[in-house]
Structure formats: structure tokens, C-alpha cells
Structure 1
Amino acid sequence: MTQSNNIPLGIILMIATTFVFAIQDGLSRHLAGEYNVLMIVMIRYWFFAAFVMAIAKRQAGGLRAAAKTSQPLVQITRGITLALEICIMVAAFTLLGLVESHAVFTCYPLLVAALSGPVLGEHVGWRRWAAIGVGFVGVVIILKPGVGVFDVRALIPLAAALMFAFYGLLTRYAARRDSSATSFFWTGTVGGLTMTAIGLWYWEPMTAVDWGWMICLCLTGVTGHWLLIRCYEAAEASAVQPFAYLQLVFASLIGISLFGEKISPNVAIGCVIIVAAGLFTFWRERRQG
């Protein structure tokens, strides 16, 4: 099937995706504040795995075709990495809040750009290296080491960003031989199995109200991934990817309005620098592509 390139529709779908994922993050922050993070992510993955398998069944060849890969180790590593990254990021929400966690995590496209050279052998020119350097100045401004007592907790979303960048690089590597449908299938199923093996040990009874929030969390996860699939079907990734930064805006609004979080000046300045550097790297990649 030839991919269309309806950029206006793609942008609308990406904005909707970021909004739904921001709601998911808010729900994760609430539930992980009341229950064990590993259990919350496990239940979320059960729904995600079921969604992935339902999508695979509807494709030509069904589950067997979706699961077929010549690089199972790469796909398994991808799935485990993403599952663990989500656990770390949700933990960051409870420790730092949505605003600061997303502010630091926003640097992950710069990490992808920086690591794409040594890991994938892609060419990274001096302009993109300069943008990466500027972006990490923004990260340092947010972390503000040396000013008062450095908060070690700020390194948690940075670790999540590094893991997500590694997951992104593995996804690019896997795409050389596997279809996006195959990678999507392995992401959901491997993540579901990984979180079940870990999360069952931390099961806690939930109240009826929180089960309602849990169902909402699972639905937002499925809806967000469905919107993202539709987005990339509608338009090429390079055209819509810059709008993914809106998740930072939406998540910050949720953090401020519902959880009483605040945006400190250093976080605001650092975010502006990181986003500007990230948009420049996207522009360079699209121009060279």
C-alpha cells in the first residue's frame, strides 16, 4: 500500500495523539502515586498487548505473519527496553511531577541524533552536532547542577530519555528488515510478557474508583497508539514529528491544573532551548532526506 502524504491531516492526528498521551501520563501519575508502578504498567501492557494482537489478526497472514522476523533478539531487546523505560518514566512522574519529567525527557530526539552515528552508521553533520550541544545546554539548565543541592531524582527522566532513544535506534535498525507491523507486534507482546513476569509480584488490590481510572488509562494507551498509526499512515514522519513536542505542553498543563505543579524559570528556559534544538535537527534530517 502506498503511503499518502496528507500533511494537514497528519498534523491534526499528531496533535490528537500528543493530547491523548498527555492524559495517559496524568492518569499514570495518579495511579502510580497510589499503587506500585510495576503493577500499573503491567495492567496497561495487558491492554496494549491485546490491542497489538487484535491489529495483527486483521492483517494479511494474521499473527504468524506479524510475528515473523529474522532478528528476534533485536525485537525482544526493543520490547524489554520500552517496557522498562515506561516504568522509569512513570516513577519519575511520581517523584518529580509531569512538568519537570517531561522537560528533561524532551531531549530524547537529540540523543537519537547523537547516537545514530556510532550505533547505526548514519552521517551526523556539524550543524546537527551543534544543535545537539545546544540542546544539552538546555538539559543542564533544567538540572542546574552546582546550584544549591543537586536533585539526583532529575536523572531519572534523563535515564528514561536515554532508554527511549536506544529503543528508537533499535526500531530504526529493525526497520531495515522488518515491517512496522512486525515491530509493533513484538513491542506489545514482549512488553506484556516482561511486565507480567515482573509486575505480578507487586500486585495490590485496587478500589473500584481506581479500577475505573485504570480502565481509562488503558483506553488512552490504545487510543493514542491507534491515532499514532493513523498519523503515520496519513503523512510522512518528518512532516509531523515536530508536533510531538506538544505533549510537553499538554502534560505541563495537566500537571499545573490538576496536580498543583509549577514551572520554574530554569525549566522554562531549558525547555525552549531543547525544543528549538530538536526542531532544528528534524529540519536538517528532513532537508537531507
Structure 2
Amino acid sequence: MSSTSARPASSTSEVTTGLALMFLSVMFSPLIDIFAKLAVVTVPSAEVTAGRFVVQALCMLPIVIWRRSFADFSWRQSLFHAIRGAIITISMISFVTTLKYMAVADAIAIFFVEPIMVTIFGGIFLKETIGWRRYTACGVGFFGAMLIIQPSFEEVGYIALLPVVSALCIAIFVLMTRVLSHREDPWSMQFQMGIWGLLFCAILLFIGEGSGSDLFDPVMPVGSAWFYVAGVGAMAAIAGIFGVYAYRAAPASTLAPLQYFEIVSATIFAWLVFGDFPDAMKWLGIVIIMASGFYILWRERRFASKPVSDTSEVTLAP
């Protein structure tokens, strides 16, 4: 998923451009998870996550240099960036681990309780005005997630809860990003996130070496595994760049509903690559989550001065 704030669009053509770029972003985003699911068969979750950070950081580095964003680095905020890096690392490792055992569409659908969590946390911690209607929609959305989690829990056990852990981490990450977004360049923030995330993955892999853990024991990728790991980072970078420029062209409140089409595109890609297709109960859960999300976004657009999902930095779903 992507979320960011942008300057007001100055023309209809800019809004149209923003919508087109956002559509491309949500079409590329599920490919991150497709490649991750292929990679995690032979490569531990932390190593797949580290690979993503490496490729993303390398893709962001030329942009940061070109924009001279190094000058905007706030080293006094290093602890804050380190915490964000740790949170995003936990989120990504949780989600990549999920993909080893669950269908991509199911995992992404459960993950999409994240905007609902952001809404709730925004009301609690940022003192944003959230009425009873949106809180009710949040409850309905969680019910939809349970419809997906319940049969998945019977199939894979507690692994089915990892997308919720991932969503919780991303919700916290988004709120922390909003605090920094008024003071720092979004590209430099994205780059620093990758560097800190890579550092934490390296620590976990160093500790896990020789443990036999399929999460933290590093291995040397063989054959196509190199391509899959690189694909995770490349797709994340491409989707992120599309997202950045989409939100620079059009308002976040206009683009946000398109994020939910990621569930649809993920279902299509997962069906084409793995033959996975949600059953009727899971489709019901997906529809409920999407409907509650659309309602929350509609209420934000109509009544809130700034949607709680706004940030100034693209945040991709794991």
C-alpha cells in the first residue's frame, strides 16, 4: 500500500496523471509479494527482506544525490529513523514469512486492516476527530478480516495472524512518518529507512547464522533465487516511485481508494502464478474490508481537514 501527502493538484490533467500513476503503483505492488513468495521457498525471510532494502536503497541513492537530499538529513533524528527502520523490518519479515504458508491474496487482504488501524491510532494518539461512524466501519472491517483469518488459521495456525502484526507495524510506521514528514524530504526518509532496515536485517542474520531457522539463518541463494530476491526490491522501488509521483500530481484523498485495487491485482497475479483463488467466504471478507475502507476514506474526504492516512512518504505494503 502507498500513502503520502501532496501539494494540491493545479489542473484536471495533473489529477488524471496522478490516478494513472497510482494505478500503475497498485499493479506493481503485488509483484513484490509474488517474488517474495517465490524467494522465501529457499531463502530465509530476513534475507529476502534485506535484499529488498539493498535494491530499494540503491534505487533511491541516485535520486537522493540528484535532489541533494543529503543536506536535508536530520542526524539528530537518527534514533527516530532507527525505530522506523526496526518497525518496517519487523513488518516485512512477518509478511514475507506469511507468504511462505498462505496465499498472496489472503495475506494482502488481511494486511489491509492497516488503514483501519491508522484511523483508530490517529484518533487515539494524534487526537484527530474520528466519529462513531468511522469507528463502526473499523469494527466492520476487522470482522471482514476475521472471515479470512478464521479458515486460514485452521490451515496454517498462528501464521495467519502475521499479516495483522505486519499491518500493526505499518500503522505505527505511518504515524511516526507523519511526525517527521513536516521536517524532512520524503526521498531522504525513504533512503534512510532502507539503510536502517538493512542494518537490522544484517544483525538478525548474523545472530541467526547456523541456527537452522528458516527466518534468520542466511543461505547463499542459488539459481533463480537471486532473480526472485532482486525482483522483490526492484518491484518495491518501481511501485514506490510511481506512488511518489502520483501523490505529487493529485491529492491523497483522491488517490487513496485506488489502494484497495491492490487486493484485486494481487488475486489476479496469484491466480496466474500459483493457481491460488479465494473461496466464497474469503471473498466475502475481502469485500467487507474494501467496503469499510472506502467508507472511512469517504468520511475523511467529506469531514476531515486532513485524512488520517496522509503522510509525506510512500509506504508500500510488505
Scaled by the length of structure 2, what TM-score is found? 0.83
Q: 1:264 aligns with which of 260, 279, 297?
A: 279
**Following the alignment from structure 1 to structure 2, what is the Cα–Cα distance between the partners of residues 84 and 148?**
24
Match of 2:293 in 1: 278
**Following the alignment from structure 2 to structure 1, what is the Cα–Cα distance between the partners of residues 250 and 110?**
28
How many residue pairs were aligned? 286
Tell whether the 8 Å contact from 1:106 to 1:161 is kept in structure 2 after alignment.
yes
**Following the alignment from structure 2 to structure 1, what is the Cα–Cα distance between the partners of residues 95 and 192?**
21
Gaps of 5+ in 2: 1-5, 210-216, 306-318
Tell whether the 8 Å contact from 2:101 to 2:156 is kept in structure 1 after alignment.
no
Please state if 1:141 is matched with 2:156.
no
Q: What CA RMSD, in Å, does the superposition of the two structures yield over aligned residues?
A: 2.2
Please state if 1:95 is matched with 2:101.
yes
Which residue identity does 1:232 align to in structure 2? Y
Which residue identity does 1:203 align to in structure 2? P
Q: 2:112 aligns with which of 106, 119, 135?
A: 106
SS at match of 2:41: helix
Which residue identity does 1:99 align to in structure 2? A
Match of 2:316 in 1: none
Q: Shift of the alpha carbon at 1:86?
A: 0.8
Match of 1:15 in 2: 23
Match of 1:117 in 2: 123
Match of 1:189 in 2: 195
Tell whether the 8 Å contact from 1:49 to 1:192 is kept in structure 2 after alignment.
no
Tell whether the 8 Å contact from 1:98 to 1:251 is kept in structure 2 after alignment.
yes
From the two aligned structures, give the one with the greater helix fraction: 1
Tell whether the 8 Å contact from 2:7 to 2:251 is kept in structure 1 after alignment.
no
Q: 2:53 aligns with which of 26, 45, 49?
A: 45
Are residues 142 and 218 of structure 1, via their aligned partners in 2, closer, same or farther at CA, if it must alter by over 3 Å? closer
**Following the alignment from structure 1 to structure 2, what is the Cα–Cα distance between the partners of residues 255 and 74?**
36
1:164-190 CA-partner distances (Å, limit 9, x unpaired): 111111111222433423422321221
**Following the alignment from structure 1 to structure 2, what is the Cα–Cα distance between the partners of residues 260 and 2?**
41
Farther off after superposition, 156-165 or 69-78: 69-78
Match of 1:173 in 2: 179
Scaled by the length of structure 1, what TM-score is found? 0.91
SS at match of 2:183: coil
Q: Shift of the alpha carbon at 1:16?
A: 0.6
Gaps of 5+ in 1: none
Tell whether the 8 Å contact from 1:242 to 1:282 is kept in structure 2 after alignment.
yes
Which residue identity does 2:27 align to in structure 1? F
**Following the alignment from structure 1 to structure 2, what is the Cα–Cα distance between the partners of residues 144 and 43?**
32
Match of 2:255 in 1: 240
Farther off after superposition, 135-144 or 125-134: 135-144
